[in-house]
């Protein structure tokens, strides 16, 4: 296997994630191994080791979920509370201002990684520079949002799951005029084209969102969103 | 040629996926799990009926009327196909009879994406994310279905099936970027041709209504609309088909649906919300004769369908906001 560009990411402290409220120059994420960065890297390493079993169990679970063909019983299906849905509705109605990359970043950076106890922003799966918004000033016409993600693991199902989480989050939060494209950053995954195709197939996404178990996993990932 | 909007109906609470028209009726299918019938005969285009919504547990993806009858087939993400019709009851003549479920067909492993009746009404085709196309033979009542063939040559989800309006020739469109044509050879259904050319999922296709030539229009995630034609019968049942034209580029995003009118017009629509109509000036040379942007506001448009009611040509479109728009044309 070749090298993957985000295989062992520096874990970023939430306070260091790019945010609208700070001077952007404070957020230079250099690659120098400062003591602080080194410490974070070691932290991640220990997380990797300690949670090994958990990680593989998660992967297995996701595999099973994605492969399942049967309509599952709804007994243990976690459903979104009404409060959460309403909140998102309000959000979409109120967003009169044009949406920029930072706003998209804020919506998706706090989604939990399905595999680590960290957010997609902290793991640099989601990066501000990889978000592009093509805003049409005329709100009666469509605008486009492009998000490129850099998975930490080359495993297909997990990349798909992360992409699905991002799409569900954005579709719920953004007004209908936004067309969302989610792609894997070039060179970040062994089956890039397959995953990209799946993440942008409207019908497959719609069907995935009717799979209660899968939606449960996604909802869990979204509970850490701000 | 001018398109004008006659009526906009907000019929469903979720994505409207599919529309089929017959005998002055339109049926719609939606992610809200409902199937609705609209009367196209009166100019107010009223909703006639909502079919029993406990039948499907998930999105209804596709609807198709059986020719020469009042029977309707619907395919759902819950992996089943439902068959609907009206019970014969002389006592109730004159009053509106509700459409009842006649049969549920199981067989597909997961989401059914499309269902289609053959021109005679003898065969029902269905396709699914399980990569297969099934051909069923139906009894006259629409209650008994026998599976004649399971066609498994596609390597990915099969998105759409459609029959030729005059002969027993079936086209299937797939996530594997190809279209396959199927015909009956000595009691068995075989792949007659594979159409390669699209550079993305093929979402939908439709045959030309013609006795003299065999042609098919297709649309894809690659934002193109293409016309294919049958060149000659090959050996061993394999027919030779070739791409005849790529229609003028109108769409900027995935094209989800095409419809070829009996008059020879092609309509296309998709993710960019554009509704386009093309006319053939001479064989293989097409021009755009009408274009409606934001056909359903900012929403993606999933389906477009031509129909003729009382000699008038109508175009119906359906979108993600659950709305149906009914358009007329002045030629």
Nearest chain B Cα distance for residue A125, angstroms? 26
Q: At what angle do helices A212-222 and A156-173 cross, to 10 degrees?
A: 70
Nearest-Cα residue of chain A relative to residue B200: A197
- Cβ-based contacts of B78 with chain A (< 8 Å): 71
Delimit the domains of chain A by residue range. 14-222
pLDDT at residue B204 greater than cutoff 90: yes
What are the Cα distances from residue B149, in Å, to B110, B136, B182, B191, B315?
Answer: 18, 7, 11, 12, 34
Delimit the domains of chain B by residue range. 2-88+98-318
Average pLDDT over residues A150-176: 89
∠A172-A178-A184 over CA atoms, to 5°? Answer: 85
pLDDT at residue B143 greater than cutoff 50: yes
**pLDDT score recorded for residue A37:** 53
Q: Does A67 touch chain B (CB under 8 A)?
A: no
| Residue A110: φ, ψ to 5° | -100, 10
**pLDDT score recorded for residue A213:** 93
pLDDT at residue A49 greater than cutoff 60: no
Pairwise CA distance, residues B106 & A167, whole Å: 31
- Cβ contact B298–A201 (<8 Å): no
Mean pLDDT score across all residues of chain A: 75
∠A150-A184-A212 over CA atoms, to 5°? Answer: 95
- In this prediction, residue A29 has a pLDDT band, given cuts at 50, 70 and 90, of very low
Average pLDDT over residues B306-329: 95
- In this prediction, residue B52 has a pLDDT band, given cuts at 50, 70 and 90, of confident
- Cβ contact B78–A69 (<8 Å): no
Residues B1-18 pLDDT 10s: 889 999 999 999 999 999
| Residue B25: φ, ψ to 5° | -120, 150
**pLDDT score recorded for residue A156:** 57
The architecture that CATH gives domain A14-222 is 2-Layer Sandwich (3.30)
- Among A71, A140, A206, the residue with its CB nearest the CB of B297 is A140
* Domain B2-88+98-318 in this protein, CATH class: mainly beta
**pLDDT score recorded for residue A62:** 57
**pLDDT score recorded for residue A9:** 74
Tell me the residues of chain A between 5 and 34 that have a Cβ less than 8 Å away from chain B: none
**pLDDT score recorded for residue A70:** 39
Percent of chain B, pLDDT > 70? 97
Average pLDDT over residues A67-75: 41
- Between B237 and B324, where is the model more confident? B324
| Residue B135: φ, ψ to 5° | -115, 125
**pLDDT score recorded for residue B288:** 97
pLDDT at residue A193 greater than cutoff 50: yes
- Between B208 and A158, where is the model more confident? B208
**pLDDT score recorded for residue A61:** 56
**pLDDT score recorded for residue A63:** 53
Q: Which residues of B209-220 are buried (b: 16+ CB within 10 A; e: fewer)?
A: eeeeebbbbbbb
**pLDDT score recorded for residue A33:** 44
**pLDDT score recorded for residue B187:** 83
Contact B72, B63 (CB under 8 A): yes
**pLDDT score recorded for residue A86:** 44
Token output for A144: 């486009």
- Cβ contact B271–A207 (<8 Å): no
CA A135 to chain CA centroid, Å, is 21
- In this prediction, residue A153 has a pLDDT band, given cuts at 50, 70 and 90, of confident
This complex has an ipTM of 0.93
**pLDDT score recorded for residue B86:** 86
- Between A80 and A142, where is the model more confident? A142
Average pLDDT over residues A44-49: 46
Mean pLDDT score across all residues of chain B: 95
Token output for B220: 């894809």
- In this prediction, residue A40 has a pLDDT band, given cuts at 50, 70 and 90, of low
- In this prediction, residue A161 has a pLDDT band, given cuts at 50, 70 and 90, of very high
- Among B109, B113, B298, the residue with its CB nearest the CB of A203 is B113
Under DSSP, the state recorded for A112 is: B
Q: Does B208 touch chain A (CB under 8 A)?
A: no
- Cβ contact A176–B175 (<8 Å): no
| Residue A220: φ, ψ to 5° | -65, -40
pLDDT at residue A95 greater than cutoff 60: no
Look at the pTM and tell me if it is higher than 0.90.
no
Residues B225-236 pLDDT 10s: 999 999 998 877
**3-state helix, strand and coil shares in percent for chain B, rounded to the nearest 5:** 0, 55, 40
**pLDDT score recorded for residue A68:** 46
Percent of chain A, pLDDT > 70? 63
**pLDDT score recorded for residue A64:** 55
**pLDDT score recorded for residue B186:** 84
**pLDDT score recorded for residue A24:** 39
Contact B3, B277 (CB under 8 A): yes
* Residue matched to tokens 């439709």: B206
- Between A156 and B161, where is the model more confident? B161
- Between B137 and A24, where is the model more confident? B137
pLDDT at residue B279 greater than cutoff 70: yes
Most confidently predicted of A150-164, B87-101, B290-304: B290-304
Residues B76-116 pLDDT 10s: 999 999 999 987 666 656 677 889 999 999 999 999 999 99
Average pLDDT over residues B126-134: 98
CB pairs under 8 A between A and B: 57
Pairwise CA distance, residues A135 & A142, whole Å: 8
Q: Which long-range contacts (CB under 8 A, 24 or more apart) does B227-231 make?
A: B227/B266, B227/B284, B227/B286, B228/B179, B228/B195, B228/B197, B230/B193
What are the Cα distances from residue A171, in Å, to A174, A205, A212?
Answer: 6, 11, 18
Q: At what angle do helices A101-108 and A156-173 cross, to 10 degrees?
A: 120
Average pLDDT over residues B301-314: 95
What are the Cα distances from residue B308, in Å, to A69, B128, B221, B286?
Answer: 40, 30, 29, 22
Residues A171-189 pLDDT 10s: 999 999 999 999 999 887 7
**pLDDT score recorded for residue B94:** 67
């Amino acid at each position: 296997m070749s090298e993957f560009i985000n295989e062992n990411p520096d874990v970023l402290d939430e306070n260091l994630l790019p945010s609208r409220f700070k001077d952007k120059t404070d957020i230079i994420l250099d690659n120098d191994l400062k003591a602080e960065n080194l410490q974070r890297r070691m932290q991640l390493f220990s997380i990797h080791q300690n949670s090994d079993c958990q990680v593989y169990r998660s992967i297995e679970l996701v595999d099973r979920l994605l492969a399942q063909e049967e309509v599952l019983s709804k007994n243990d299906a976690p459903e979104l509370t009404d409060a959460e849905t309403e909140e998102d509705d309000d959000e979409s109605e109120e967003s009169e201002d044009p949406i920029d990359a930072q706003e998209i970043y804020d919506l998706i950076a706090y989604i939990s990684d399905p595999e680590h106890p960290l957010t997609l922003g902290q793991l640099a799966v989601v990066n501000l520079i990889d978000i592009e918004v093509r805003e049409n000033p005329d709100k009666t016409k469509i605008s486009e949002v492009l998000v490129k993600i850099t998975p930490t693991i080359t495993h297909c199902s997990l990349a798909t799951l992360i992409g699905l989480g991002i799409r569900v989050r954005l579709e719920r939060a953004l007004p209908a005029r936004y067309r969302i494209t989610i792609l894997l950053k070039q060179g970040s995954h062994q089956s890039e084209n397959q995953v990209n195709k799946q993440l942008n197939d409207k019908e497959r996404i719609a069907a995935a969102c009717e799979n209660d178990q899968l939606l449960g996993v996604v909802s869990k990932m979204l509970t850490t969103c701000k | 040629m001018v398109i004008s909007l006659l009526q906009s109906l907000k019929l469903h609470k979720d994505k409207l996926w599919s529309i089929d028209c017959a005998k002055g009726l339109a049926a719609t299918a939606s992610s809200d799990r409902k199937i609705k019938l609209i009367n196209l005969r009166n100019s107010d285009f009223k909703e006639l009926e909502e079919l029993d919504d406990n039948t499907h547990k998930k999105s209804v993806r596709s609807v198709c009327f059986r020719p020469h009858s009042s029977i309707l087939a619907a395919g759902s993400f819950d992996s089943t196909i439902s068959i609907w019709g009206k019970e014969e009851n002389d006592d109730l003549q004159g009053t509106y009879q509700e459409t009842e479920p006649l049969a549920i067909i199981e067989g597909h492993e997961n989401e059914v994406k499309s269902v289609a009746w053959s021109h005679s009404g003898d065969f029902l085709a269905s396709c699914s994310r399980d990569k297969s196309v099934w051909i069923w033979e139906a009894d006259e009542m629409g209650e008994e279905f026998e599976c004649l063939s399971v066609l498994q040559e596609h390597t990915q989800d099969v998105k759409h099936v459609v029959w030729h309006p005059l002969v027993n020739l079936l086209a299937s469109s797939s996530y594997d970027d190809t279209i396959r044509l199927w015909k009956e050879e000595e009691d068995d259904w075989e792949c007659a041709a594979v159409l390669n050319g699209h550079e993305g999922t093929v979402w939908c296709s439709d045959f030309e209504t013609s006795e003299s030539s065999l042609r098919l229009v297709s649309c894809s995630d690659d934002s193109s609309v293409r016309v294919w034609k049958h060149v000659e019968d090959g050996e061993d049942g394999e027919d030779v088909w070739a791409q005849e034209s790529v229609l003028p580029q109108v769409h900027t995003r995935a094209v989800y649906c095409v419809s070829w009118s009996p008059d020879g017009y092609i309509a296309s629509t998709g993710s960019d919300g554009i509704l386009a109509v093309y006319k053939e000036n001479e064989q293989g040379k097409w021009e755009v004769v009408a274009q409606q942007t934001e056909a359903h506001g900012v929403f993606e448009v999933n389906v477009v369908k031509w129909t003729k009611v009382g000699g008038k040509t109508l175009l119906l479109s359906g979108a993600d906001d659950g709305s149906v728009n009914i358009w007329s044309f002045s030629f």
